[in-house]
């Protein structure tokens, strides 16, 4: 099935890099003021979702879900839930990191929700791509400058890192001590990361 791309309103500086990740058949959902990115991304919306507290409803001839301002879900979370109900299994989030830490943190944990539902997700910004480890090892090519591991649960255990400056064998990262920051792939190698349990975020820095 086609991938769902959800676009938030956070700043994007390097549109050319972002566009390299876009596929011709992606389903594009713009959240509220995320519509400001449509022209530079060169992608028309298939769906618009928002409470329009950041900009006025453009009233385009496109399916639009208008949300109340007072609600539990953010616009981005609601957009994702709508697409989950429609059967999408693969998600790319752009324009979803930065500016407001509360929204940034909330968006990171959307990757946990996807994982818990057996779905795939990636967050992409100007500086990195972010994915959750699930079943298969996460591979990091040496074209990335650094990579980091962050526990999004109380504890991630049975962590393994291969082909990196700082390898790890059956390690543990707790939410209270995030020591997995700024590792490097060995030159000419592809690093591999996996874990036995917990929610492990893998951040690959450009």
The CATH number assigned to the domain holding 24 equals: 3.40.50.10240
| Confidence (pLDDT) at 2 | 87
Domain count, the chain: 2
- Are 27 and 101 members of one domain? yes
Kindly report the pTM of this predicted structure.
0.94
Chosen domain end from 101, 126, 151: 126
The secondary structure element, H or E, covering residue 122 is: strand 120-124
| Confidence (pLDDT) at 191 | 98
Chosen domain end from 126, 156, 186: 126
- Are 89 and 181 members of one domain? no
- Are 113 and 144 members of one domain? no
- Are 51 and 144 members of one domain? no
Q: Average pLDDT over the chain, rounded to whole?
A: 96
Q: CA–CA separation, 195 vs 108, rounded Å?
A: 19
Chosen domain end from 126, 148, 163: 126
| Residue 190: exposure state from Cβ atoms within 10 A (0-12, 13-18, ≥19) | middle
Has residue 124 got a pLDDT over 90? yes
Per-residue pLDDT tens digits for 149-204: 999 999 999 999 999 999 999 999 999 999 999 999 999 999 999 999 999 999 99
In a domain, 194, yes or no: yes
- Are 108 and 21 members of one domain? yes
- pLDDT, average across residues 127-133: 97
Has residue 11 got a pLDDT over 90? yes
- pLDDT, average across residues 78-101: 96
- Are 148 and 179 members of one domain? yes
Domain of residue 166: give its range. Answer: 138-205
Q: Vertex 92, ends 63 and 112: CA angle to 5°? A: 110
The angle, 0 to 180 degrees and rounded to 10, between the axes of the packed helices 75-85 and 101-116 is 20
Q: CA–CA separation, 43 vs 29, rounded Å?
A: 10
CATH of the domain at 155: 2.60.120.320
- pLDDT, average across residues 130-138: 96
């Amino acid at each position: 099935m086609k991938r769902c791309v959800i676009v938030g309103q956070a700043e994007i500086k390097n549109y050319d890099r972002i566009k390299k990740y876009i596929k011709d058949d992606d389903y594009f959902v713009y959240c509220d003021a995320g519509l400001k990115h449509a022209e530079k991304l060169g992608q028309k919306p298939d769906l618009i979702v928002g409470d329009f507290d950041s900009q006025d409803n453009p009233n385009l001839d496109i399916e639009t879900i208008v949300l109340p301002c007072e609600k539990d879900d953010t616009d981005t979370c609601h957009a994702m839930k709508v697409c989950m109900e429609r059967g999408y299994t693969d998600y790319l989030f752009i324009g979803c990191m930065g500016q407001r830490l509360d929204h940034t943190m909330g968006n990171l944990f959307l990757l946990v929700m996807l994982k818990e539902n057996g779905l795939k997700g990636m967050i992409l910004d100007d500086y990195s791509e972010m994915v959750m480890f699930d079943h298969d090892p996460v591979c990091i090519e040496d074209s990335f400058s650094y990579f980091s591991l962050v526990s999004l649960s109380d504890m991630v255990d049975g962590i393994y890192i291969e082909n990196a400056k700082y390898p790890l064998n059956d390690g543990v990262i707790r939410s209270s001590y995030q020591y997995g920051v700024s590792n490097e792939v060995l030159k000419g190698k592809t690093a591999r990361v996996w874990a036995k349990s917990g929610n492990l975020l893998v951040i690959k820095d450009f």
